[in-house]
Amino acid sequence: ELLAPRENLFQGQHILITAGPTREAIDPVRYLSNHSSGKMGYALAEQAQRLGAKVTLVSGPTQLPVPTGVDCVQVESAEQMLNAVQQAVSASSVFIACAAVADYRLANVAEQKMKKSQATMQLQLVRNPDILATIAARPDAPLCIGFAAETQDVAHYAQDKLTRKKLAMIAANDVSDQGIGFNSDENAMQLFWHDAAGQLQQRDLPRASKGHIAAQILRQIKELPSS
């Protein structure tokens, strides 16, 4: 909406984006998931495509239409999302991990619908692979961009993820802030990256539509020292 349609910032580049939640099966009729709508990731896919990139969107279950011209791979679980990302990553120069990946999955998925019995029950969970950290650790890693939705100490946790996951940039937001974030059409973000001298840099993107935020994130990616 705020970009000249003919801008060709990413002409000839392939951008890989994850979006939406993942679903981790409990039994054939139940799952663990989260409130991610996928709107931010889909907005990034749409804007990247408008800026001339070839876009592959690996998406968990959402209610959203796939943006025109975007190649979309639909997945459910974190493991499926990792597989789809690994299939597409070698062709990509930029990887943007916008998905709200479930941190854990069931240790054992019941083959049949579980029946209720006791008054309490326990589910055993095991850690899911970290898709972004896995990709960023590859010798042929593309430029890796992370997101961090936090409810407290946003800058602290975001900077920790930037360094620990070896990212080129992280986009952080405070999801405790009412009216923005997960299911909203608007967002406000803080971007963190390291400049060519290794100094931490920060840019605040004030509250705006997710399309506008997406366009600003993509412009900043283009400005990164490693870009």
- Residue of 34, 108, 128, 173 marked active site: 34
Is 161 within any annotated ligand binding site?
yes
Binding mask 140-159 for ligand CTP (x = CB under 6 A): ------xxxx----------
Binding mask 156-185 for ligand CTP (x = CB under 6 A): -----x------------------------
33-44 burial, b at 16+ Cβ within 10 Å, e below that, comes to: eeebbbbbbbbb
Round to whole Å and give the CA distance between 41 and 92: 16
Q: Are 81 and 99 in contact (CB under 8 A)?
A: yes
Is 132 within any annotated ligand binding site?
yes
Interface of this chain with ligand CTP, residues 2 to 31, rule: CB under 6 A: 18
Q: Are 186 and 179 in contact (CB under 8 A)?
A: yes
**Is residue 101 a contact residue for ligand CTP (CB under 6 A)?**
yes
Round to whole Å and give the CA distance between 157 and 149: 9
Stretch that binds ligand CTP, among 29-37, 61-69, 98-106, 196-204 (CB under 6 A): 98-106
**Given the complex with ligand CTP, which of 18 and 49 has the nearer CB atom?**
18
Round to whole Å and give the CA distance between 57 and 15: 8
Q: Are 106 and 32 in contact (CB under 8 A)?
A: yes
Rg (CA), the chain: 18
Q: How far is the CB of 66 from ligand CTP (least distance, A)?
A: 19
Binds Ca ion (CB under 5 A): choice among 27, 71, 76, 103: 103
SS3 188: strand
Bridge partners for 58 per DSSP: 18, 73
**Is residue 221 a contact residue for ligand CTP (CB under 6 A)?**
no
* Strand duo 94-97 + 14-19: pairing: parallel
Q: How far is the CB of 146 from ligand CTP (least distance, A)?
A: 4
**Is residue 97 a contact residue for ligand CTP (CB under 6 A)?**
yes
Known catalytic residue: 83?
Answer: no
Give binding residues for CTP as ranges. 103, 113, 129-132, 147, 161, 165
Tell me which residues touch Ca ion (CB under 5 A).
Answer: 103
